[in-house]
Homo-oligomer: A and B are copies of this chain.
Amino acid sequence: MVIRLKPGAYEEYKRLHQNVPPDVLQTAHEHGIRNQTIFYRDGYLFRYFEYVGNDFEKDMAALAPSTSAVRQRWWELTSPLQQPLDTCGPGEWWAEMEEAFHGD
């Protein structure tokens, strides 16, 4: 997934991610998210993770900001720093990318 950061927002974004609320991390794990990394360069964030569950839509819905006060607060801290791509559809925030290649 990819998203932009607003100009000058990276230091704050990185600082926040040094102390992600434990509840946010734990519930992500419970809903099948593994090996997650967020990378940055030149105003772009790229988010990579692997999903090990069996109902991706349901698990992602369970991680929506509205599902807990802690997640809502985390959203209120991080989302103002972000700027979705112009090509995002309605309701899309992080933009899904297409897999062009995979090898191991």
Chain A residues within 8 Å of B, Cβ to Cβ: 2, 10, 13-14, 17, 20, 25, 28-29, 34-42, 44-46, 48, 85, 87, 95-104
Contact = CB atoms under 8 A, between A and B. Distances in A.
A102 B2 contact: no
A99 B17 CA distance: 10
Contact of A17 (B2, B37, B40, B100): B100
Nearest to A95: B41
A10 B100 CA distance: 9
A85 B46 CA distance: 15
B100 A35 contact: no
Contact of A35 (B10, B28, B98, B104): B104
Nearest to A15: B100
Which of A41, A45, A95, A102 has the largest count of B CB atoms less than 10 A from its CB? A41
A98 B2 contact: no
Contact of A97 (B20, B36, B46, B98): B46
